[in-house]
Amino acid sequence: MRILVTGGAGFIGSAVIRELLTQTSCVVANVDKLTYAGNLESLASVSDSPCYHFYQVDICDATALDTVFAEFNPTAVMHLAAESHVDRSIDGPADFIQTNIVGTYTLLEAARGYWSALDESAQAAFRFHHISTDEVYGDLEGADALFNETTSYSPSSPYSASKASADHLARAWHRTYGLPILVTNCSNNYGPYHFPEKLIPHVILNALSGKPLPVYGDGSQVRDWLYVEDHARALIEVLNRGVVGETYNIGGHNEQQNIEVVKTICELLEELTPGKPEGVDAYGDLITFVADRPGHDRRYAIDASKIQRELGWVPAETFESGLRKTVQWYLDHPGWWQRILSGAYRLDRVGRAKLQ
């Protein structure tokens, strides 16, 4: 297979590319604009592979996308490029509308034009996998309810509304034009190479620096946590074996309150790095409750029984094992995150296609 991955320099996209290049014989094209969250250093372990190609392209640029499709000749698209930080979407929603909605439309049209020109057998084999989020479903009522593939959409933030729009576009291109679409909606991802603005890496790095660990509201918001490498394996399984036109929810079966996530990180740091910053007696003392953000959903939880039943996928990591691996990874790779915090990763990266 020749797989075009959009957003491949991002957190989940880079995990997918590392998995594809180390565990399969696929050829991969990474299409990424390299916004602030795109980091080619997350792909350092595989970037020298002859099966890896990089195109610095904005998915809103139709002409550039047509060129990529014509040069690379993909047999599948895995669409992960997106603006994804809820707080940023509240402060400035325009980028989310442009990338997540207009960009998805532009990519769908480029894929449709390319797919329409293929011969019959190549058309039948082609797949467009649209990767989305459980946040499109909104807030869950009660302690036992779960999101499933038929849950009605009720997005709460500009981010989730833009992703919901993208989901609807993908499904419409399948029904109207016959483009072979697969859709997945995942729960909160965590793991190595996670950009430091997100909750888990933000808490780890603030704690190591002796800075406050901000927790929204009372910290009782519940999320279902999914280790990113488990997610990458699930996405590849859906691409290979999923039924065209179907949606698959991917979750980690790991519901945790935000405050418990932060406390668990503090406990792991006490164990793994007892030498604390000056003036810090216990990492837990750094926890600071701050005003809740607007429209903050209280609980997300995924029913992942469909992907388990139909494709046999289950997560390999528990929250405990995955979080321990994550904390240890950040302790072992200070060079990676220090270059992000300093901005050096943006100054040094090379923005040109790697064609081999």
Hey, CA dihedral for 208, 210, 215, 220, is it positive or negative? positive
Identify the residue whose tokens are 């649209």.
130
For residues 47 and 28, the answer to whether their CB atoms sit within 8 Å is no
- Structural domain contains residue 278: no
Classify burial at 30, counting beta carbons within 10 Å of its beta carbon; exposed 0-12, middle 13-18, buried 19 or more: buried
Give the tens place of pLDDT for each residue, 145-203. Answer: 999 999 999 999 999 999 999 999 999 999 999 999 999 999 999 999 999 989 999 99
* CB neighbour burial string for 210-224, b if at least 16 within 10 angstroms, e if fewer: eeebbbbeebebbbb
- Structural domain contains residue 283: no
> H-helix or E-strand containing 98?
none
The single residue of 32, 58, 135, 297 carrying the catalytic annotation is 135
Give the tens place of pLDDT for each residue, 99-138. Answer: 999 999 999 999 999 999 999 999 999 999 999 999 999 9
Torsion of CA 91, 8, 170, 24, to 10 degrees: -150
135 belongs to the catalytic site: yes
Q: 27-32 and 2-6: which strand pairing?
A: parallel
Nearest CA to 133 out of 112, 151, 145, 107 is that of 151
- Structural domain contains residue 266: no
- Structural domain contains residue 276: no
- pTM as predicted: 0.94
- Structural domain contains residue 264: no
- Structural domain contains residue 210: no
pLDDT of residue 123: 98
159 belongs to the catalytic site: yes
Paired tokens of 314 = 């289950």
The whole-number average pLDDT for the span 301-328 is 97
Residue 144: give the domain boundaries: 2-193+225-255+297-319+342-348
Paired tokens of 339 = 């270059």
Indicate the average pLDDT of the chain.
94
pLDDT of residue 42: 97
Q: What CATH number does the domain containing 101 carry?
A: 3.40.50.720
Q: For residue 111, what are the β-bridge partners?
A: none
pLDDT of residue 283: 96
**pLDDT at 350 exceeding the cut of 70:** no
Grouping H, G, I as helix, E, B as strand and the rest as coil, residue 38 is coil
- Structural domain contains residue 251: yes
Q: Looking at 70-74, 280-284, 345-349, which range is the least confident one?
A: 345-349
As for how many domains the chain has, the answer is 1
- Structural domain contains residue 355: no
Torsion of CA 191, 133, 79, 44, to 10 degrees: -10
348 belongs to the catalytic site: no
The single residue of 134, 224, 229, 255 carrying the catalytic annotation is 134
Residues 138 and 300: their CA atoms lie apart, in Å, by 8
The single residue of 55, 159, 190, 248 carrying the catalytic annotation is 159
For residues 262 and 204, the answer to whether their CB atoms sit within 8 Å is no
Nearest CA to 91 out of 34, 160, 189, 157 is that of 157
Residues 266 and 76: their CA atoms lie apart, in Å, by 42
Farthest CA pair distance, the chain: 68
Residues 288 and 139: their CA atoms lie apart, in Å, by 25
Q: For residue 50, what are the β-bridge partners?
A: none
